[in-house]
Amino acid sequence: MSFPSDLEIARSVTPRPIMDVAHDLGLHDDEIEPYGHTKAKVTLAAIERLEVERPRGKYVVVTAISPTPLGEGKSTTTVGLAQGLNRIGKKAAVCIRQPSLGPVFGIKGGAAGGGYSQVIPMADFNLHLTGDVHAIGAAHNLGAAFLDNHLHHGNALGIDPFSILWPRVLDISDRAVRRVIVGLGGKENGIPRETEFVITVASEVMAVLALARDIHDLRARLGRMVMATRKDGSAVTAEDLKVAGAMTALLTDAIKPNLLQTLEGGPAFVHCGPFANIAHGNNSIIADRLALATNDIVCTEAGFGADMGAEKFFDIKCRASGLSPDAAVVVATVRALKMHGGVGKIVAGKPLDPALLAENVDAVRTGAANLAKQIENVKIFGVPVVVAINSFPTDTSGEVEAIRQVALAAGARDAVVATHFVEGGDGAAPLAQAVWDAASSGEANFKLLYPDDAPLGEKIEAIVTKIYGGTGYELAPAAKKALKLYEELGMGHLPVCMAKTQYSLSHDANLKGAPSGFTVPIRDIRLSAGAGFITPLVGEMRTMPGLPSKPGGENIDIDDQGNVVGLF
């Protein structure tokens, strides 16, 4: 008998009424806004009340090695870990991002976890949920419309049309709109100019929402967003264009975190969805605060490897929130470490290379150099590490032991096999105990990688040399110009949000393991003044993905009963 699909498993479980999940958290009826029977929004007033009444729970970030195109089961592990913590008697919640429709209909598929460690309802989670991403897109594009309208009606602010920084957004992977010309067709259609589309999850509005503390902080951050510059180099903000208030109005519901549940009925907060390779890659501060005020321990996921989402979790999200993590989990798989060790090739949508299924302890040990570096990357921030070995049936005891030896030698507190995909919370119980012990140990001594007042160049240098293991970086002319401009605009105090490939510690996706001796090329640098960071674009990293030759959306449809099928 074959193992059921994720969708079959998700539909085999009858969800608890979402009001029951909310009441278990101590939420009052007037603090819950149901969207049907299986999902709800929680008011910001509830967070303010609970933070005063309740002690803060323990804070755990889940990250990973540099992933393969198939991922390493990080979302699945985050959900399974929370289920495992509940199984060992700890009140635990999971905090994850809502996926972009780009990957859902593209190459990656859904992001609700997998097997018996999922967030439900799965179809809602992966598609529109409560409409937050659409609201973010509308707010962003409203800003773009105001900007072009201002140019059309005389440009009283003196905007340099060649200096416009604000793109448009679309939450579908669509390479055809990466570079476009708007305003064609005559005077009544606006001022012709070249611009671009980025995917909505890469929008600064998404980043702002994820980092805002409340509605007033959101309003202030939106107002600070720099949309263009004048010919003298001075900034033109959303506040200057008188659009920040209207953008905020579009986000008054989107700022409220979404409450869902795991397959085992535990709370799951799903809010915001910035990518970790082209944005900061973490769910909202607001959702984490709510979870921490209602649980003994919270598992929050940072996108991709520890060099990507986790570095940004520490240096951007924790800097903004003031919250300090108590422990971190680094997820690894045997098959990915074999790939990092030079064996086999993993291509999404194609059968797994047989070489990755055959025992090869030497390849695992060689590839585990990537794991060791990612453990080091977390420990740089003073946070204790537990390695989660996400188990597959083809793993052998020798391969697992090799991972454990490398992990412990690299400074991990523990390395534990987890079978949550097949066994749910029971399969993650040993991992949960190790994570609880790490979070309760008092070993965390959290520190940031660089101070606020370091020059932007020094901040980039610190990330490249200390986190990636490179020797330095090179700025293309456009990047040099942008860096100089941002320093002159008084943005030198901002942290750095690197946009680079997730498949390598370096800028080159083909460099596996723990490469060294490389120089990181930076072609341009974007400013996100409202979110509060700058984004160097490394190599050929794009902010609008394209669809593959056989998009995952080809498999998505409805069945005879009108249910969504084909999500995975």
Whether omega before 121 lies within 30 degrees of 0, making that bond cis, reads yes
Task: Indicate if the alpha-carbon torsion angle 319, 322, 325, 331 is positive or negative.
Answer: negative
Separation between Cα atoms, residue 460 and residue 467, nearest integer Å = 10
SS (H, E, C) 364-401: HHHHHHHHHHHHHHHHCCCCCEEEEEECCCCCCHHHHH
**Coil, helix or strand at residue 86:** helix
Q: H-helix or E-strand containing 114?
A: strand 113-114
Task: Tell me the pLDDT of the chain averaged across its residues.
Answer: 93
If pLDDT is split at 50, 70 and 90, which confidence band does 232 have?
A: confident
Minimum mean pLDDT range among 6-20, 516-530, 533-547: 533-547
Cβ-Cβ contacts under 8 Å for 221 (sequence gap 6 or more): 208, 211, 212, 530, 531, 532
132-249 CATH, one of 3.30.1510.10, 3.40.50.620, 3.40.50.1400, 3.30.70.260: 3.30.1510.10
The pLDDT of residue 108 is 58
Q: How far apart are the first and last CA of the chain?
A: 19
Instruction: List, for residues 109-135, the tens digit of each pLDDT value.
Output: 667 889 999 999 988 998 999 999 999
If pLDDT is split at 50, 70 and 90, which confidence band does 568 have?
A: low
The pLDDT of residue 497 is 96
- Average pLDDT for 445-473: 97
Question: Which whole-number Å values give the CA distances from 321 to 276, 289, 316, 445, 463, in the listed order?
Answer: 18, 9, 9, 17, 21
Phi and psi at residue 238, to the nearest 5°: -60, -30
Residue 294: name the closest of 98, 90, 135 by CA.
90
The pLDDT of residue 550 is 81
User: Contact, 331 vs 362, CB < 8 A?
Assistant: no
If pLDDT is split at 50, 70 and 90, which confidence band does 136 have?
A: very high
The pLDDT of residue 39 is 97
The pLDDT of residue 24 is 97
CA dihedral 34, 37, 38, 41 (to 10 degrees): 0
Q: Where are the alpha helices (DSSP H) in 63-181?
A: 74-87, 101-105, 122-126, 132-152
The neighbouring-strand residues paired with 22 are none
User: Contact, 337 vs 346, CB < 8 A?
Assistant: no
456-538: CATH superfamily: Formyltetrahydrofolate synthetase, domain 3 (3.10.410.10)
Q: What angle separates helix 132-152 from helix 204-211, to the nearest 10 degrees? A: 130
Which structure tokens are listed for 264? Answer: 């085992």
The pLDDT of residue 354 is 86
User: Contact, 511 vs 504, CB < 8 A?
Assistant: yes
**Coil, helix or strand at residue 125:** helix
Task: Indicate if the alpha-carbon torsion angle 199, 304, 266, 382 is positive or negative.
Answer: negative
Share of the chain above pLDDT 70, in %: 99
The pLDDT of residue 2 is 73
Instruction: List, for residues 299-343, the tens digit of each pLDDT value.
Output: 999 999 999 999 999 999 999 999 999 999 999 999 999 999 998
Residue tagged 């929130």 (tokens): 321
Cβ-Cβ contacts under 8 Å for 512 (sequence gap 6 or more): 66, 339, 340, 341, 342, 367, 370, 504
Going from N- to C-terminal start, the domains of the chain cover 25-131+254-440, 132-249, 456-538
Separation between Cα atoms, residue 305 and residue 322, nearest integer Å = 22
Which structure tokens are listed for 413? Answer: 């507190």
The neighbouring-strand residues paired with 390 are 418
Q: Is the pLDDT of residue 349 over 70?
A: no
- Average pLDDT for 283-288: 97
- Average pLDDT for 539-565: 82
25-131+254-440: CATH topology is Rossmann fold (3.40.50)
The pLDDT of residue 305 is 95
If pLDDT is split at 50, 70 and 90, which confidence band does 386 have?
A: very high
- Average pLDDT for 28-50: 97
Which has more confidence, 352 or 9? 9
